[in-house]
Structure 1
Amino acid sequence: MALGRGGVSLVIALAVMASSCQTEDKRPLPHYTSNGRGVAPTNAAENKSNRYFIEFRSRYALTYGHTYVVFGRADKSGKMINPEVAGLAPASDNAAPYVLGHFIPVPASTGATDGDLEEQYRSASWRVMLTDDEYSDTVAYIRKLQATTHLWEATVYNCNAFVADIARHMGYKAPGIWLRPQQFIATLREMNTG
């Protein structure tokens, strides 16, 4: 039986989904912090001027995990002050839209999901310290992305794609969107910090 063009596309999409689900997450990876130039702040003046941050994160979940960003201000010790979360996920706690979203686009939410700020679920992270201007620009882009993104689809526009858009807006390179979230965050950091 010959497959038409649509059938071949479906087979390829299913193969990509299946292969991305075959790997397992590792133990939690260390937390990395850098400034916008890819290195950790080294002097007090730079530390003081970079009180804002964005943190690219992944967390464990019952499925293959979740990728999202946490952003806000940090105190002198690096502790987050009133952090905000942005990510892309099906807009339901019900599993049906999540499963369906592997085949067709489903309604999405772009805010926090259960477990995003709970330390025991974090699988990888990369915090970038930002100047006031960098932070304002990044947050404006996140808000625009949240206002215009209404659908989630696992193979076309998933949580990794949402975070990749934010990273590219900031001038970073982003890996492919079909990696597991932990691999995506680790690769994002490695691609941009060496």
Structure 2
Amino acid sequence: MALGRSGLSLVVMLAVVASSCQTEDKRPLPHYTSNGRGLARTNAAEDKSNRHFIEFRSRYALTYGHTYVIFGRTDKNGNMINPEVAGLAPASADAAPYIIGHFVPVPATTGATDGDLEEQYRSASWRVMLTDEEYSDTVAYIRKLQATSHLWDASIYNCNAFVANIARHMGYNPPSIWLRPQQFITTLRETNAG
């Protein structure tokens, strides 16, 4: 039986998705902090004026993990003050929508999910310190994205794609959305942090 073009495309797409899920996560990677231009922070005076941040983060999960952002303010020691979380995930704690979402889009949530702020689940992160203007612009974009992202699809619009949109808006070049979350965040940082 011959496959039509759409059937062949489906087989290729499923092969790409399946192959991206075959690697294993590494041990948790160190925390990295950069300024808004992606360069490592070195200037203490700059630290005092730029207390807003966005952190691109991945965490371990029962499956291949999750990618999301945390944003807010830090205290003088770099600790987060009332952080907010934005990410894209199926809108249910039940496994069924997650599984179905590998074949067809399912309803999504764009806020925090279980484990996002728990340090033991962090697999990689890249914190970018922002000026007030950069922060206001980024948060406005995140709010717009949250208001318009209603569906999650593992192959087309997943958590990596959601975070890639934020990174792209900030002027960064995001990696492929089909990487595992830890690889996605690590590659995002390595590609853009100078």
Structure 2 match to 1:165: 165
Structure 2 match to 1:117: 117
Cα RMSD, aligned residues only: 0.7
Give the conservation status (yes or no) of the 8 Å contact 2:51–2:75: yes
Structure 2 match to 1:12: 12
Report how far residue 45 of structure 1 moved. 1.9
Q: TM-score, normalised by structure 1?
A: 0.99
**What secondary structure is seen at the aligned counterpart in 2 of 1:163?**
helix
The Cα offsets for residues 86-145 of structure 1, whole Å up to 9 and x where unpaired, read as: 000000001000000000000000000000000000000000000000000000000000
Q: Say which is worse superposed, 90-99 or 3-12, in terms of deviation.
A: 3-12
Aligned residues: 194
Report how far residue 150 of structure 1 moved. 0.1
**What secondary structure is seen at the aligned counterpart in 1 of 2:85?**
strand
| 2-structure distance, mates of 1:44, 1:178 | 37
Structure 2 match to 1:77: 77
| 1-structure distance, mates of 2:159, 2:87 | 6
Structure 2 match to 1:35: 35
Report how far residue 42 of structure 1 moved. 1.9
Structure 2 match to 1:152: 152
Question: Match for 1:61: what amino acid?
Answer: A
Structure 2 match to 1:3: 3
Question: Match for 1:36: what amino acid?
Answer: G
**What secondary structure is seen at the aligned counterpart in 2 of 1:76?**
coil
Alignment of 1:52-91 (within 5 A): 52-91=52-91
| 2-structure distance, mates of 1:106, 1:86 | 18
